[in-house]
Amino acid sequence: MSGSDVVPGLTRYRLLGRSGLRVSPITLGAGTFGQAWGPGWTTEEQVARRIFDRYLDAGGNVIDTANGYQGGTSEEWLGKFMSERGGRDRIVLATKFSFGTHEGDPNAAGNGRKHVIEALNASLRRLKTDYIDLYWLHAWDTVTPVEEVVSTLDNLVKQGKIRYYGWSNVPAWYLGRAHTIAELRGLERAIALQLEYSLVTREIEREYVPAARELGLGISPWSPLANGILTGKYQKKGDGALAGDGRLGKGGFATGINSDLRDRNERIVTAVLAVAKELGKKPAQVAINWATNRPLVSSTIIGATKVEQLEENIRSLDFEIPSGLTKKLDEASALPVQYPYSFFEGDLAGLIRAGTTIVR
């Protein structure tokens, strides 16, 4: 890595939550490293290698994958790339467990101790390393007792197989209970949340952002471009569905929240395009910049299928969005206040505060 290769925005490192782990504000997501998921979601190995090298040469230090990405190929390629390049200890390597690996085997999926340990050992083999820096629970499995999950992850930290752990795609009550159990029993606590977050999907601001503030958790957004909607590449058809050459037209992992351009989403895209034009930037850069500079956000995950796409996205932090334009984006994407928050912020708020103003 030479000085001319470095992208300044990537090297303004942040702490991940209330921990000592230093992370780049943009994480390289390796979900596209493989050929199993079809058009729009895959790269060839040589392209993936160039993306990997360019991210690290630019000063980035966090790479995110999962045991289920591309049927395990994502981890295998990363293991090969790290082994050939060297410098494993400079990388904050993150992977995940929860998703099934052997169809028909109930213990080859979920968050039970048996699967977590087997999943980790398999990931370590594929990644050609003896430890994971950040191990994510990929999704709540709805059945495993939270005490078992916390105990398992605490033991893995103590064994040196993982350095830290975090929660992804879990209910807010679950992470609160997990944190309390760990705190009261003197166990290792999670340091971060990996959640869908973008101008289109701001739902985590109701529960998860306040929880992160209270519990000392960093937030790592995934899908900051809302499956490509915020790039401006899609056009709305008469029925509100999407037309355009992007992932949403190829199937995959789009959520119901951000899968079309009806009403609110169309308003958000219009605002992003206007701000991008005023700043002379790409819409994707504006959207990533917005997400990465939200409260409690430590590192935003971006994926890429081309080196040029990566180059554009890692330069998303090389500019500031003026407060007036940020306000425009915030207002276009604002969520309606819902119960119970309407209770705290409405006419009854005065009764709760005895008619006084209290600043926290």
What ranges in the chain are assigned the alpha helix state H? 45-57, 73-85, 113-127, 146-158, 172-185, 204-215, 264-279, 283-292, 307-314, 323-333, 341-345, 349-352
Query: Could you give the percent of the chain with pLDDT greater than 90?
Result: 78
Mean pLDDT across the chain: 92
Structural domains in the chain, sorted by start: 8-352 (3.20.20.100)
Helix-then-strand count for the chain, H and E: 12, 12
pLDDT at 138: 98
Band of pLDDT at residue 332, cut at 50, 70 and 90 = very high
| 3-class state of residue 139 by DSSP | coil
pLDDT at 116: 98
The average pLDDT across 199-203 equals 95
**Does residue 78 carry a pLDDT above 70?**
yes
Q: Is 55 labeled as catalytic in the residue annotation? A: no
| 3-class state of residue 309 by DSSP | helix
The average pLDDT across 208-214 equals 97
- Whole-model pTM: value is 0.93
Structure tokens at 126: 């594929």
**Is the alpha carbon torsion for 324, 328, 331, 334 positive or negative?**
negative
Closest by Cα among 166, 98, 103 to 133: 166
Which of 37-41, 57-61, 95-99 comes out lowest in average pLDDT? 37-41
**Is the alpha carbon torsion for 349, 352, 358, 360 positive or negative?**
negative
The average pLDDT across 164-181 equals 98
Which of 22-36, 45-59, 295-309, 344-358 comes out lowest in average pLDDT? 344-358
Q: Which of 55, 69, 208, 234 is catalytic?
A: 69
**Does residue 19 carry a pLDDT above 70?**
yes
pLDDT at 359: 81
pLDDT at 251: 54
The distance of Cα 161 from the centroid of its chain, to the nearest Å, equals 22
d(CA 308, CA 302): 13
| 3-class state of residue 134 by DSSP | strand
pLDDT digits (tens, 9 = 90+) for 138-168: 999 999 999 999 999 999 999 999 999 999 9
pLDDT digits (tens, 9 = 90+) for 250-272: 555 555 555 555 678 889 999 99
pLDDT at 292: 98
pLDDT at 193: 98
d(CA 124, CA 301): 22
